[in-house]
Structure formats: C-alpha cells, structure tokens
Structure 1
Amino acid sequence: MFERLDRLQPETDWRSLGEEVEFEELALPAAAEFRTLLTAEIDRLRALFPERPGRTRERTAWFIALEGQAYDDACNLSALERMRSEVYRARREENWAAVAWNLGRVRQSYPGIPLPDTLLTAHDRMTAIDEAADERRRQAAVAAEQAAVDKEIAQRATDEAWAKELKRRARIDSPRVIRVGLQTATSKDDHMT
C-alpha cells in the first residue's frame, strides 16, 4: 500500500509546516548538546587507548588483536566517532531526522552516556512528531489502497468486465508451448498437450 501511495503522491512530506519548524527548533540545540556529550565520551575512551594507531592498516591489526572489554571499548569508540561525524554532518545539512535517529540510538543502546532531561524531552517530542507523520502516511496509504480496491470492484461489476477478467485469468493459467530448435509460427492459442 505504501508503494501505491508513493506512486500517487511522490516525495510528499507528511509533517505539517508547524511540525517541521518545531522539529528543527528541537533538533538544532539538541545536536550541539549531543555532540558535546559524544565528545566527552570519545575523549574518555581514547584515554584508554593511548597506543591506538592513527593509520587504517595498523589500526585494523591493533583492533583485531584486542580481546574482552578492550575490544568492546574500541568498538564503542569507533561507533561514537562515526556517530559524532554523522551528527555534525546532519546539523550542517539540516538533516534533523538523522540527529533524532542517532540520539535515539544512544538513548536505547549506550547507557555510557547519560542524557540530560533536556535531550530526553526533545527526543520524546521529535519521536512524537515522527509518529504522527507516520500515522498520517499510513492512513493515506490505506485510503489509496481502498480506493483502488473499490475501483476494481466497480470495474468488475459489469458482465462484460467480468468476462474480460476471466479471459485474462485463462491466458495466465494456460501454459505456452515453447519449441526448441524448430522454427515454426506460433499461434496465440498454442497449448501443451
């Protein structure tokens, strides 16, 4: 149903203008505060690995040799560095959904960064705005699908349309004969016997 909706209404923004403005007003300061928290955690994790190589090949070999908690900490460090870059890029490009998504990732999966109430409140509201937009999109998709079903039912309501549909189904159900090697003219009604 969502594919049908996207064909009927391509690139539709399901948020209202007011929701867009509110989302941006929440995400802009949240991104800055969030990056500060990410930087503090990254600095803490980097302090655990003063021997961490700078070059990619040496860093990969170093990383593979790690075990236990050191391995987990190195994984977290790498993921948080990448996330901080994504948040920075998202803020620069005004991709507020990416800010909210990354904030949600840390909130759900990384208790090492305690999020202040301001960020939790902002994330809750951004999530509510996204859920409202998703519900509007879902309702529009259901309506589009129902309209298509109603149209098809109305079209098949006549005897002529139903006969045409039965012929179409018969063509689908009857296999075509494919002869290999011998070139012959094929008939529309060729069937396997």
Structure 2
Amino acid sequence: MTSRAWPSREEWQAKAEYAVRTSCTMYERLDRLQPGTNWWSLAEEAEFEELALPAAAEMRALLNMEIGRLRALFPERPDRSRELHAWFNALEGRQYEDACNLGALEQMRTEVHRARREKSWGTVAWHLGRLRTHYHSVSLPEGLLAVHDRMAVLSDAAAERRRQAAEAVEQDAVEKEIARRATDQAWAKELERRARIDFPRVIHVGAQTSPIKGDQVT
C-alpha cells in the first residue's frame, strides 16, 4: 500500500490556526464551552418584553385588517386543502401575488399569536421586521417603527457580546493549538494518526475452527 504525501512537521505546525478555524464555527465552539449562556442583561430583557408585548397586539390588529382586505378579493377561495391547492395553482399575475401574501400573512398572524402566548419576544421582533421589509401594503405607524428600531438595537447589542465572546474563545483555541503542535508529543501523535490511515488494521475473516472439547455440548 502506498502512503499519501503528508505535510512536513513545519507545514503541519503552520496550519494550526487554519485547522482550528475550519474545524467548526466560532459560535459552535462557544456554545460547547458555554452552553445556555444568556447574552442579554436583565434590564435589556425587561425592556424588550415591554416593547414586544404591545407590539404583538398592534401587529395582530394590522394583520387582521390586511387579511380581511385580501380575503375580500377572493370570495370563491376554497376551504378544503385539495381544492385550495388547485385554486391557488390556477391563479396568475396580481391575483397569484395577492393570494401568496394572504397565505403568508395568515401564517404570520398565527405565529405572532403563539409567540405572544409563549413569550417568545424574539419571534415577535422577527415577524415585525418581515412585515416592515416585505409587506408594504401594511402601513406601520411611526410608533411601531420606533419600537422595532429599539428592539433591533437591543438584539444587536446582545449579538455583539456573543460575537466578541466567540472570537475570544476561538483565538484562545488557536493559541493553544499552535503551542500544542510545537511539542514533540503532539508530532508523535500526529505520526501515529497518519500511520493508522496509511496502514489500517485489517481483520481477515476465515473458516472458523472447531470448538475445543470443553466447549462441546454433549
């Protein structure tokens, strides 16, 4: 069996940082080391909830209005799933677009209601962002826009703290791997690993020998 062309010790050492950064994402590494960490302060969480709770109710009212308007465009819309699917596929142009928006907004309303009940405020903020960005037929009041802006500031602050922590954890792992690869022990283990790959252990399965006399059942 021909062994592969492995990098030299110097090349292997030089790739320490690359190996760390490509083995997993920095956030995966962080979550393994600090599982369940909350990157929000108590004050930020309280403010976010105070913003999201009325925002969810206001969103639901706006969604009800837009859903009602779109439903009025399709009085013939079937209720049963099979008929609804056939009806939907037959639409074209603006009707198709309006029907798509109707279905999406109905789903959004359901998810916002569930998020409010389960106190999943990040979901409320996410749907508010979707409504603001993609559904221009729904006019959001200035106050609700300001609420979304503030929620984004709070979310970004928590995300930035998590990013900084992840970068620090990854950099620490890089430094430790560089130091590890500089040792003779690490190089010896690497050579052993390569040998196991180049010359894997092969178990030959042949004819079974007969059992010894003591094992025989009489």
Q: Could you tell me the TM-score, scaled by structure 2's length?
A: 0.76
Equivalenced residue count is 182
TM-superposed deviation, 1:52: 1.3
Is 1:3 matched up with 2:28?
A: yes
Partners in 2 of 1:103 and 1:163 — Cα distance? 56
Question: Deviation of residue 178 (structure 1)?
Answer: 5.4
The verdict on how the C-alpha distance between 1:175 and 1:117 changes in structure 2, with shifts beyond 3 A counting, is farther
Residue in 2 that maps onto 1:47: 72
1:118 match: 143
Q: Would you say 1:57 and 2:82 are equivalent positions?
A: yes
2:58 to 19, 23, 33: 33
- For 2:101, the equivalent position in structure 1 comes to 76
Give 1:45 deviation, angstroms. Answer: 0.6
- 2:200 counterpart of 1:176: yes
Q: Provide the rounded CA distance (Å) in 1 between the counterparts of 2:95 and 2:189.
A: 69
Shift of 1:158: 3.2
Aligned to 2:133: 108
Aligned position for 1:189:
none
Q: What is the RMSD of the two structures over their aligned residues, measured on CA atoms?
A: 2.0
How do 1:96-175 residues align onto structure 2 when only pairs under 5 Å count?
96-172=121-197, 174-175=198-199
Q: CA deviation at 1:53?
A: 1.6
**TM-score normalised according to structure 1 size:** 0.86
Using the TM superposition, name which of 148-157 and 130-139 deviates more. Answer: 148-157
Aligned to 2:48: 23
Tell me which of the two structures has the higher relative contact order, counting C-alpha pairs closer than 8 angstroms and 6 or more residues apart: 2
Q: Cα offset for 1:65? A: 1.6
1:90 and 1:36 map into 2 onto residues whose CA distance is 15
Inter-partner Cα distance in structure 1 for 2:194 and 2:48: 50
Higher mean alpha-carbon deviation, 10-19 vs 88-97, is at: 10-19
Deviations 1:59-98 (A, max 9, x none): 2222122111111111111111110111111101100011
Query: Measured at CA, do residues 40 and 28 of structure 1 come closer, stay the same or move farther in structure 2, by a change above 3 Å?
Result: same
CA drift at 1:48 = 0.7
- Counterpart CA distance in 2 for 1:66 and 1:52 is 11
**Larger gyration radius, structure 1 or structure 2:** 2
In structure 2, what is the equivalent of residue 85 of structure 1? Answer: 110
SS of the equivalent of 1:152 reads helix
In structure 1, C-alpha distance between the alignment counterparts of 2:53 and 2:199, rounded to whole Å: 61
Give the aligned partner of residue 188 of structure 1.
none
Shift in Å, 1:152: 2.2
Residue 19 of structure 1 and its aligned partner are, at CA, apart by: 0.9
Q: Percent identity?
A: 66
Aligned-partner Cα distance in 1 for 2:177–2:86: 62
